Amino acid sequence: MNDAPTQTYLKPSDAKSWALCARRVWLDNKGMPDIEIPEDAFEALIIELGLGHEQAVLTELKKEKNVHTATSPEDTQRLMAEGVDVIYQAQLLDKENRFVGYPDFLIRHDSGEYQPADAKLSLSEDKKEIQVQLGFYRRILNVNLPAIVFLGDGKTAEIGDEANPITNQFVTEMRELLASDTEPLVRYSHSKCRACPYYAHCKPAFEAKEEISLLYGVQGRAVDELEKQGIQTISDLAASTPESLPDVPYLKGYEKKQRAILQAQSYFSGEVHIITPVNLPDGQWVHFDIEDNPLTGTGEKHVYLWGFLVPDFSNADFEYVWTDTDQQDEQGWLEFLAQIEEYRARYTDLVLAHYSQHERSTIRSYAKRYGMEGNETVQYLFGNESPLFDMQKPVLESLVLPLQGYGLKDICKHKDLVNFQWEDDSSGSQWSVVQFNRFLAEDNPEEKAQLKAKILSYNRDDVIATRRLEEWLRAKFMT
Ligand code: SF4
């Protein structure tokens, strides 16, 4: 682009970071030279698939319309004045308001006006950043016509005046943020910060400050109120009692306060606190974990791997159902149900242990997808005698751990807790999605087999981890 400085101009591509964290979008724009941004393979995959989707939309548009590619803001203006059907890679510049925007397409309406349009992998136009981006283009173009979103599942959506309030909020807040040379003060959020490229930059400062939102289960809005009441640090909270702690929003009642205080104490001591005895069901345990691909372009996740660890729980006792592509989705689901029936027959008192609600909700959505809610095996899985057992439940109910997140890896990898290490330390659920998408794109059979082996080994470690967690809970917290 010729003369559009992006540093001080407001640009809709900031909407994603802005929706996540004020500091993140500030850092994006202020370009701190000393901050090293780690590579993110999942993000790179999303960009690659997004570009593929954009090209697919472009191909479709070219079938019916005359498409011209813009090379600059001036060229975009010229093409608009000429009234061409579609302007690809449009460049919009509003020097007066200091706005810059790059809609994928400008599509000429019968009225002669242009509608901005973006190709998005998302399956819904309701996401904050999509509303802002398309609302922003409409604002630069000053059009009343709705903007168009070509969604990831092939559907088309429109965004009109309903996006104006959130777009105006974005403009106002971004102007304030960019006018400041000081990093905005924000709270720690484990889910957002862990996935953020600035994690290594922000975390030490939160720790030095003993920021209370570092604690699991204590929300930022509760911390605002606690600070007003004089509880400024984790030490202050650790020294409180449930009786002395004031009732503040999101931290009301004896139990919640007690947990927060124990979490604060555990932060320093590394101790595990037992709130109630751990209760695990008797029976013959089979550990269970799934891997799914959300990037199918159909709107429905494809479970490519249903993994199990059966007695005697060694590496060799890993069993699984695998499907190569989402074309085999139903086949994989039916094989999973058959596998359950096999375990039901093999283990008379089956406990199908998993960690978190994800497995249960995925089985439910598959039953719905294939109209099989009445299927006998499905009924068995969700009936009164259901073998499904979520191991996160007793952990959350009974224990306060020296952790900021209670995910399986948080607990299992911790040296003083379960202390189980995955064979591939870089693996994770997003990692698995990246590997599976590489598997899909790979033509070389040897490379393909290697990728599959890596994914299987990761899933096997996941179910071994839940087994280790079970053993740890039984040994330490059950008599
Ligand atoms: S690490 Fe957290 S606080 Fe820092 S920029 Fe990222 S999301 Fe914001």
Q: Provide the domain limits for residue 417.
A: 284-477
Q: Name the nearest CA neighbour of 80 among 45, 51, 109.
A: 109
Whether residue 419 is predicted with pLDDT greater than 50 in this model: the reply is yes
Which of 271, 294, 315 is the endpoint of a domain? 271
Q: Ligand 1 centroid to 79 CA: how many Å?
A: 41
Whether residue 384 is predicted with pLDDT greater than 80 in this model: the reply is yes
User: Looking at the domain assignment, is residue 26 inside a domain?
Assistant: yes
Q: Ligand 1 centroid to 355 CA: how many Å?
A: 27
User: Looking at the domain assignment, is residue 416 inside a domain?
Assistant: yes
Q: Tell me: do 303 and 166 sit in the same domain.
A: no
Q: Which of 30, 190, 202 to mutate to test the pocket of ligand 1 (most atoms within 8 A of CB)?
A: 202
Provide the whole-model pTM: 0.89
Looking up residue 438, the CATH number of its domain turns out to be 3.30.420.10
Q: Tell me: do 104 and 158 sit in the same domain.
A: yes
Looking up residue 116, the CATH number of its domain turns out to be 3.90.320
Q: Ligand 1 centroid to 130 CA: how many Å?
A: 21
User: Looking at the domain assignment, is residue 3 inside a domain?
Assistant: no
* DSSP line for 244-255: TSPPBTTB-SHH
**Count of domains for the chain:** 3
Q: Which phi and psi angles does 125 have, rounded to 5°?
A: -85, 0
Q: Which of 18, 23, 177, 190 to mutate to test the pocket of ligand 1 (most atoms within 8 A of CB)?
A: 23
Instruction: Write down the mean pLDDT value for the chain.
Output: 94
Task: Tell me which residues have their CB closer than 6 angstroms to ligand 1.
Answer: 20-21, 23-24, 27, 186, 192-193, 196, 198-199, 202
User: Looking at the domain assignment, is residue 7 inside a domain?
Assistant: no
Which of 157, 179, 201 is the endpoint of a domain? 179
User: Looking at the domain assignment, is residue 199 inside a domain?
Assistant: no
**Residue 387 pLDDT class (50, 70, 90 cuts):** very high
User: Looking at the domain assignment, is residue 204 inside a domain?
Assistant: no
Q: Tell me: do 353 and 438 sit in the same domain.
A: yes
Question: Could you read off the pLDDT of 348-361 as tens digits, one per residue?
Answer: 999 999 999 999 99
Q: Tell me: do 129 and 266 sit in the same domain.
A: no
**What's the rounded mean pLDDT across residues 378-395?**
97
**What's the rounded mean pLDDT across residues 465-476?**
97
pLDDT for position 4: 45
Q: Tell me: do 310 and 432 sit in the same domain.
A: yes
User: Looking at the domain assignment, is residue 186 inside a domain?
Assistant: no
Q: Tell me: do 266 and 291 sit in the same domain.
A: no
SS3 state of residue 148: strand
Q: Tell me: do 151 and 289 sit in the same domain.
A: no
Question: Could you read off the pLDDT of 205-262 as tens digits, one per residue?
Answer: 999 999 999 999 999 999 999 999 999 999 999 999 999 998 999 999 999 999 999 9
Q: Tell me: do 266 and 326 sit in the same domain.
A: no
Tell me the C-alpha distance between 102 and 115, whole Å.
13
Q: Which of 182, 186, 206 to mutate to test the pocket of ligand 1 (most atoms within 8 A of CB)?
A: 186
Tell me the C-alpha distance between 83 and 91, whole Å.
16
Q: Which atom of ligand 1 is found nearest the CA of 189?
A: 2
Tell me the C-alpha distance between 256 and 400, whole Å.
12
Q: Tell me: do 122 and 256 sit in the same domain.
A: no
Contact between residue 132 and residue 43 where contact means Cβ atoms under 8 Å apart: no
User: Looking at the domain assignment, is residue 201 inside a domain?
Assistant: no
Helix/strand number for the chain, H first, E second = 18, 15
**Residue 33 pLDDT class (50, 70, 90 cuts):** low
Q: Tell me: do 175 and 290 sit in the same domain.
A: no
For the chain, give the percent of residues with pLDDT over 70.
98
Q: Tell me: do 426 and 393 sit in the same domain.
A: yes
Q: Tell me: do 383 and 361 sit in the same domain.
A: yes
Contact between residue 141 and residue 99 where contact means Cβ atoms under 8 Å apart: no
